[in-house]
Structure 1
Amino acid sequence: MANRIFIRRLSTGLAQQSGTSILLLHNGQPRTPFYTRKSLNLVWRNYGFPEFAGKRLTDAYWYGSRLLRKCVSDCENHKSIEETINEYISGIEVSLTSLTPEFKPVTCQAGYLFDSPSIESRIEEVIRQGTDTLILVSLYPFNLPHLTRPMFTVTNSVINKKTTTLNTFEPDPNLRVALNSPVSFKLMTLDSLGTHESIIQYWAERLRGKLENFDSVLFAVSLPMRNRKKYTSMVAETAKRIMYVLYESYPRAVPWRVGFYAPWHQFWPPVSTNTISERIKDLRKNDRTKTLVVPLGEFFPNFDTQTILPSLIEKHENTRLLPPESLDQALVHSFAEVIKTSLLQKVAQEQKIPKVKTEATMTEALL
């Protein structure tokens, strides 16, 4: 808090909006053939493909994949990802205002990499209006370099262009001062939300209410083309933690596996022996005949949960998908808990008091 007070004393005295600003980051999802192909070109670029090669890949994939075209046609029957996220925004604001009144007013917005409103415009708006704290939150459960890194590259670029740090002996890169403006704020970044204890508890509760008719669980996650080792380890550890929490109160042990699949924007099959089909076969060999498939890598309904995963599991008897809900109040509360914990931990660090027991440290103590 001392740094914040010091910054405010440097201001010109002009009006500045206080409180906490939360910016939810997502790539967005196309809903027409034109924007689907445009999005694919951008994904190839994020993977490092030259532009000409990306366009050729997009053309080949679009015309050659009936499933990709079905993703686009199916989305007409569902809400857009923007509509879904907007429903979460108001819930997060209300929940955080109740949980952390000392940080209000709390405002929550969303910015998109491939859609509007853009991430750039949202950050510029927050800086123009002023805030005490700006929290950038990736809405992807796990870090996927081709999806999450480009979002934070954009946020860093805008913030470095519009703000600077204090010229002190040890400048704090997260203490930002707007150029030619009295606005100053603390910057926080949250990613890999799927590994936070509140989200672990959320998944365990969802499973607890559904397992009565199943004898096994398959956690389904997409498999990126690169940087797989750290990602797959994080996913496996997260699945283990979910089942650990479940076992504490559930009356019977439930075998589980992690299975990988190619998401909608990848035309190549997952190069892995741990595909969804292989993992289901493995469960069947172990006399497990009813499997609940959990899309651990997705918080919201999208092409993968609406079309890709149903097409993969329909080939297997007694296998059902546990799809994301368009608005899940339990997930709203879990998001708010993650943000609250991060805010309180930041305050504790600023005040130089002993580190509070965060969700992550408490979980590590249990494992």
Structure 2
Amino acid sequence: MSRSSMTRLKFGWNLGRRHFSTDRPATKVVLLHFGFPRTEFYAKDFLFKRALLYYNVPKRIQQFIPTTLMSNDTVRRCIERYGERESFEATVNGLSKEVETSLNRLVPEYGQISVSSLFYFDDLSGTFQDRVNSILRERSSHIVFMPLYSHFSNSLSGALIRLVAQQIEESTIPLSGSKDNSQRFLPNSDISFRVSLIHRWNSHPMISQFWRTNLEDKVKQFEGVLFVAPVVVEIFIKNTGFYFLSFQRGCGNTEYRHSVWANCERVMSDLGHPVPWKIGFYNSWDDWPIPIACGK
């Protein structure tokens, strides 16, 4: 798929109240996330595939990347602690049900709305491409994809969006006569739908309300508040054919860091209790490149 076709598809996704078809289930909301492994074995595979995606590694040299080195004490410690808690997938599935219930109650004009999750690293449920195709075949009139990363970054939300857009571009065809590429149909079938994207919801009041609810009874006991967020490192890829070069752009995406800062300001403003506050950025266990030294 060409870069221009992906761009046309991406920016053709616009939310609206129109339904392309009214004789089918109305709206399907799909929550996107990379997911997390629960064992060291799957963690190695997770990090290997994450590296391929992060660096856009050419297929002909992927076999030379040693998966046996994709683990260290930090990874093992994180996996051990994660195993003591409810799986992330179970948490998101519970969230999906709550969002579905709320949407059907608050916006009945959209018709019946179903909400589900889609994880990129979920080998037990087939390939990511197969799972996207399965969603497309559910006969929903409107499919909305929404990355669960509220603050947009190219390496997280952007990567998931590109993967979904590529699969939709390869599996479906724009409806003849439509004004944009958001109305699609599956070849050799009677399945058609409209597709939309929610990828920048960092300014939604839900986020500041959540933290205000959790902090308002406690903030008076504190001398200050420290917010923490994962570092996001963006890279440019120059593919030279036989090999590839990666270039870091500073330590973290500027837009991403400003987005986090703005959210923290909104939370503290809503609290209405003046206390000092700061932001700290940490390295996630699956950060690439590893290690990264960055802070604020």
Calculate the TM-score normalised by the size of structure 1: 0.63
Instruction: Give 1:38-77 correspondences, 5 Å limit.
Output: 38-48=45-55, 50=57, 55-56=65-66, 59-60=68-69, 62=71, 65-77=72-84
- Which has more helix, going by share of residues? 1
Q: Could you list the per-position Cα deviations for residues 41-98 of structure 1 after superposition, in whole angstroms to 9, with x for gaps in the alignment?
A: 1222233174569845x65562xx4222111111221111111111112111111111
Question: What's 2:167 paired with?
Answer: 158
- Contiguous gaps of at least 5 residues in structure 1: 10-15, 275-367
Question: What's 1:322 paired with?
Answer: none
Separation in structure 2 between the aligned mates of residue 8 and residue 196 of structure 1, nearest angstrom: 29
Separation in structure 2 between the aligned mates of residue 49 and residue 268 of structure 1, nearest angstrom: 19
Q: Could you list the per-position Cα deviations for residues 211-242 of structure 1 after superposition, in whole angstroms to 9, with x for gaps in the alignment?
A: 13212111101112325212111111221122
Task: Identify the match of residue 92 of structure 1 among 90, 99, 115.
Answer: 99
Q: Secondary structure at the match of 1:187?
A: strand
Question: What's 2:37 paired with?
Answer: 30
Separation in structure 2 between the aligned mates of residue 39 and residue 144 of structure 1, nearest angstrom: 19
Separation in structure 2 between the aligned mates of residue 122 and residue 101 of structure 1, nearest angstrom: 28
Larger Rg: 1
Which letter maps to 1:230? E
Which letter maps to 2:282? Y
Separation in structure 2 between the aligned mates of residue 180 and residue 55 of structure 1, nearest angstrom: 40
Shift of 1:202: 1.8
2:292 corresponds to 1:269: yes
Question: What's 2:12 paired with?
Answer: none
2:227 corresponds to 1:206: no
Question: What's 2:137 paired with?
Answer: 128
- Contiguous gaps of at least 5 residues in structure 2: 1-15, 235-248
Q: Check the 8 A contact 2:21/2:141 in 1, yes or no.
A: no
Q: Secondary structure at the match of 2:291?
A: coil
Question: What's 1:233 paired with?
Answer: 258
Which letter maps to 1:19? A
Q: Which is worse superposed, 114-123 or 45-54?
A: 45-54
Q: Could you list the per-position Cα deviations for residues 262-304 of structure 1 after superposition, in whole angstroms to 9, with x for gaps in the alignment?
A: 11113313334x1xxxxxxxxxxxxxxxxxxxxxxxxxxxxxx
Q: Secondary structure at the match of 1:194?
A: coil
Between the two proteins, the alignment pairs up a number of residues equal to 257
Question: What's 2:90 paired with?
Answer: 83
Q: Check the 8 A contact 2:203/2:263 in 1, yes or no.
A: yes
Q: Check the 8 A contact 1:25/1:119 in 2, yes or no.
A: no
Alpha-carbon RMSD? 2.6
Question: What's 1:259 paired with?
Answer: 280
Q: Check the 8 A contact 1:26/1:151 in 2, yes or no.
A: yes
2:118 corresponds to 1:111: yes
Q: Check the 8 A contact 2:52/2:62 in 1, yes or no.
A: no
